[in-house]
Amino acid sequence: MLKIYTIILLLAMSCFSAGAQQTYHLDIKKSKVLWDTRKTMGGHHGYLLFKSGSLDYTAAGEPKTGAFILNMNAMYSTDHADAAGNKKVDEELKKEGFFATERYPGAIMTVKEITRIGQSTNFKVTGVLTIKGIANPIEFSAAIIKKKDLISATANTTIDRVKWNIDMQPKREAWDLISALKNKVITDEIAISLNLIFTAN
């Protein structure tokens, strides 16, 4: 009989602990990813919007895991002064050589672990980023600040576009001079800045 009561107690404690965890939802209207591929010869910069996102907190009040879907058709360049110039870049980025958005309209960021760095508001974030169906591990530092039911998160990192086949010349054919030139004006390292807002609703 005592054993049965112990099992019931443990189950009750487990349910209570799970219920105390909190999921915060990404405010997709206030959150974005800034990207920059510029280098000496040229390149572009702009921003990317989200389809959805969430951040899970433990019962102890620490960020734990997260999941995000990026809207690859909501990728906008901002380096041209005129709208027509930016639109031309946007259309180029959607093509097969870059993000192939017709086949891959969403990119996925799965956050597997978030670890506080010392006693600061900085955290080590590790997870998997999937672009064009290609998954690669990713790790970066983020500042995460929680004020009541509002959470802000910012981060700066880089990704190597070649790892996700974001490449106008994936096979590096010597004869394909136009694609080769396009690759030359874009750095392999894409600078990424995250500006995220989460709410409890």
> Structure pTM?
0.81
pLDDT at 192 over 60: yes
Residue type, 28: I
Pick the closest to residue 139 from 123, 152, 154 (CA basis): 123
- List the chain domain ranges: 22-199
Quick check: helix, strand or coil at residue 161?
Answer: helix
- Does 177 score more than 50 pLDDT? no
Q: Closest by alpha carbon to 100, among 77, 131, 137? A: 131
The helix, strand and coil proportions of the chain, stated in percent and rounded to the nearest 5, come to 20, 50, 30
Give the model's pLDDT for residue 182: 53
More confident call, 41 vs 138: 138
Cα-based distances in Å from 84 to 81, 87, 90, 93: 9, 5, 10, 14
pLDDT at 63 over 70: yes
pLDDT at 38: 74
Average pLDDT in the chain = 85
Output Rg (C-alpha) for the chain, integer angstroms. 21
Dist CA 189 CA 75 (whole Å): 18
Per-residue pLDDT band at 166 (split at 50, 70, 90): confident
Angle at alpha carbon of residue 145, lines to 144 and 146, rounded to 5°: 125
Check residue 100 and give left, alpha or beta (phi > 0: left; psi -120 to 50: alpha): left
pLDDT of amino acid 139: 98
The CATH class for the domain spanning 22-199 reads: mainly beta
Specify the higher pLDDT residue, 89 or 20: 89
Arithmetic mean of pLDDT, 134-144: 98
Residue 20 binned pLDDT confidence (cut-offs 50, 70, 90): confident
| 146-167 mean pLDDT | 93
- State yes or no: pLDDT of 7 exceeds 70: no
Query: Residue-wise over 56-79: b if at least 16 C-beta within 10 A, else e?
Result: bbeeeeebbbbbbbbbbbbbebee
CA distance 147 to 168: 44
Provide the token pair at 80: 């041209």
DSSP one-letter code for 176: -
Nearest to 37 by CA among 162, 151, 155, 188: 188
Q: Please indicate whether residue 155 or residue 173 has the higher confidence score (pLDDT).
A: 155
